[in-house]
Amino acid sequence: TTAQPPTKKQQTGAKQPEVSPPSTPNPNGTGKGKTELTTVLSAANKIKLKHLATITAADTLLQAIKSDAKWKWANNEFTCNPLASALADLRHTETDFDRAFLTQEIKTIKKKYPNDRFMEELARYHSSFPKSIDKADGEIKQLAGMQ
């Protein structure tokens, strides 16, 4: 085949429709292809980034409240408890898989879980954490907005 000149849409930068690659059968015979795994993993990774960023921001803010004179006004139970509670809820709901997913490489985790179970855990992680993350993130933003 020969290369075709770019179309007018391609030249103007108009968004081209995305074409999904064909699904590759899973070698373990589960029927779930690489495309599905890639989709689930990508969605879970987005939550993971927000999860880690929220935990870090909450820990940093709580530490600043305890040690920085600028935050002295917030160093009391009434002000800190909502954030501390949201952070505790976020950490309390983490399973062994979740902690591994947050701290280890994917290839290491995949060795510990059969493919179907790995997919289930990723899907569960993706669906169970956004509300807890958003709650903690909301508390961070509220406190930061009061500063």
Give pLDDT, residue 12. Answer: 47
Give pLDDT, residue 18. Answer: 42
Compute the distance between CA of residue 121 and CA of residue 98 in angstroms, rounded to an integer. 8
Give pLDDT, residue 82. Answer: 95
Q: Which portions of the chain are predicted below pLDDT 50?
A: 1-3, 8-12, 14-29, 32
Give pLDDT, residue 35. Answer: 84
